[in-house]
Amino acid sequence: MKKLCIYLLFGVLSSPAWALESADQERLTAIQQSWAHIQYELPAEQRAAAFEKLAAQASAFTQSRQSVAEAWIWSGIVTSSWAGAQGGLGALGKVKVARTDLEKAMALDPNALQGSAYTSLAALYDRVPGWPVGFGDAEKAEQLLKQGLQLNPTGIDSLYFWGDHLYRQGRYAEAKAALLKALQAPPRPGRETADTGRRQEIQALLGEVNKKIN
């Protein structure tokens, strides 16, 4: 059983949620920044415990603000990251919870955070094993990724995960084009750590793509 490669996912939000109330925005920003610190600055062996604590905060956000799609998006992102840090079959339950959270966000507001729920959910479908172990589905992932790109065609995350999907499908020239475009994505104010980490992931994936092309 290969390890669930969920941890790459997240930080998929490409812009701040200006429509949120100020208190909600502060909670969202705190969760985003904590996620980036855990994902990109903590040693790998410390991430699962740190994500577990952050998942509790994100869940509390959804319970106190059940109509806020952005809260559900980040609950799904953090739970998925926790699953990825944990790895193995034990992570599947968390991944299913994350899927439910992201679907809840889409039901509330599919356009929230420039369609980030689509991209986050697509990444799950791309990385989770397929039936009978999990719910992975490359066709479903592609459909969701395209919807996310319609809402955020220049976002670093929507383009990165589109490029990653194309790479997984053996569409290397298309993957390279998407990843190069992702590197040109505008910076996200307040999310410098996440942007730096994502660009490193893009560069690493470009290296793998170039090996296939050359």
Residues 30-79: tens digit of each pLDDT:
999 999 999 999 999 999 999 999 999 999 999 999 999 999 999 999 99
Distance CA 107, CA 120 (A): 14
Residue 154 corresponds to which tokens in the numbers above?
């220049």
Give percent above pLDDT 90 in the chain.
Answer: 85
Least confident of 9-18, 50-59, 83-92, 180-189: 9-18
pTM for this model (two decimals): 0.89
In the chain, which ranges are E strands? Answer: none
Domains and CATH numbers, the chain: 22-213 (1.25.40.10)
Give the contacts of 157 (CB within 8 A, at least 6 positions apart): 11, 12, 13, 14, 116, 119, 198
Are the C-beta atoms of residues 9 and 127 closer than 8 Å to each other? yes
Residue 42 sits at φ, ψ, to 5 deg, of: -85, 150
pLDDT tens for each residue of 113-169: 999 999 999 999 999 989 888 899 999 999 999 999 999 999 999 999 999 999 999
Distance CA 156, CA 200 (A): 12
Distance CA 26, CA 126 (A): 31
